[in-house]
Amino acid sequence: MDCLNSFSVSLQLQRGYSTGGTNVKTWGTAGNYNWQVLELGSSTNLAIQGFKQIDVYGIEMLGTVYTDVGANDGAIVSDFGIELTFTGQAPLVSGISDNNFWPLTLNNKAFTLSKYRNQTNMESPISGCSNINFGFFNAQGTGGETLSSVTLDIRLQFNFYYKYEGE
């Protein structure tokens, strides 16, 4: 990432997920429930402001997601991820996908960063980026104390590596 500019965005949130909604699934035996959270409907958009748009060359996510120790619905977090979607022009590559099992999308501008895959680097950038959308969040784990809910503390920082468009 030599010769690139960077900026950081922090995300700090405590969030309770309940089986009363549609975004958490729990199963298992008393006091040791498996669980999975899917946050599909919520998102936050970051509008890039200034006299130029940016060409994004890389994204890095630092931080963790853990249970709220003060809550009565704690759990062990095994993995977590969040999807970032960029406006702008993806690298121009053409191709044809035949009608097969996997619905391929060419030049997708959505990236999911996770606990085990926390960065993405691109030789050809997403150019002319004017918005970054923080969307789809997922987490899963074991050791849930209750069958009905789980409370998570989300503490993440995102580093974006870029050049100004046209430089």
Per-residue pLDDT of the chain (167 residues; tens, 9 = 90+): 568 999 999 999 998 888 877 688 889 887 789 999 998 877 899 999 887 889 999 999 999 999 977 778 888 999 999 999 999 887 766 566 666 666 666 666 788 999 999 999 988 888 999 999 999 999 999 988 888 888 999 999 999 999 988 77
pLDDT at 93: 66
> Is residue 121 one of the residues assigned to a domain?
yes
pLDDT at 90: 79
* DSSP reduced 3-state for 91: coil
> Is residue 96 one of the residues assigned to a domain?
no
> Is residue 20 one of the residues assigned to a domain?
yes
> Is residue 116 one of the residues assigned to a domain?
yes
* DSSP reduced 3-state for 48: coil
pLDDT at 94: 59
> Is residue 64 one of the residues assigned to a domain?
yes
- 80 Cβ contact list (under 8 Å, min separation 6): 65, 114, 115, 137, 138, 139, 140, 154
- Which is nearest to 46 in space by CA: 78, 79, 11, 71? 11
Residues 75, 17 contacting (CB under 8 angstroms): no
Report the alpha-carbon distance of residue 50 to residue 25 in Å, rounded: 42
pLDDT at 79: 97
> Is residue 43 one of the residues assigned to a domain?
yes
**Residue range of the domain that includes 141:** 5-91+108-164
Domain count, the chain: 1
Residues 165, 128 contacting (CB under 8 angstroms): yes
> Is residue 134 one of the residues assigned to a domain?
yes
> Is residue 99 one of the residues assigned to a domain?
no
pLDDT at 74: 86
What residue ranges in 68-148 does DSSP mark as E strands? Answer: 76-86, 110-114, 119-129, 131-144
